[in-house]
């Protein structure tokens, strides 16, 4: 089950191997999915080092409220 970002004061948490899914605010644009390579926060919180599935680029990200973490079984 996805974990919603910043739900009523809570912070998103992830582990290495989880997927970060960023939902699109535009109907004709797909959501973006990235494999979490590293979790920089001390308790599993952001920032996350992510490799994006659509282009292979890697970057450090602080996810916004349009993102959620999917378990390491694959993006949802």
Q: How many whole angstroms separate alpha carbon 76 and alpha carbon 71?
A: 9
Please return the burial class of 5, using the count of CB atoms within 10 Å of its CB with bins 0-12, 13-18 and 19+.
buried
Task: Tell me the domain boundaries of the chain.
Answer: 3-70
Percent of the chain at pLDDT > 90 equals 66
**C-alpha span between 23 and 17 (Å, rounded):** 19
pTM of the model: 0.80
Which CATH fold topology does 3-70 show? Answer: SH3 type barrels. (2.30.30)
The tens digit of pLDDT for each residue in 15-55 reads: 999 999 999 888 888 899 999 999 999 999 999 999 999 99
Percent of the chain past pLDDT 70, that is, above it, reads 82
């Amino acid at each position: 089950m996805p974990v919603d970002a910043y739900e009523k004061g809570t912070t998103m948490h992830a582990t290495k191997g989880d997927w970060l899914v960023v939902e699109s605010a535009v109907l004709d644009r797909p959501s973006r999915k990235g494999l979490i390579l590293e979790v920089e926060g001390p308790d599993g919180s952001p920032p996350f080092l992510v490799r994006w599935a659509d282009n292979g680029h890697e970057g450090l990200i602080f996810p916004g409220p349009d993102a959620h973490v999917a378990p390491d079984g694959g993006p949802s």
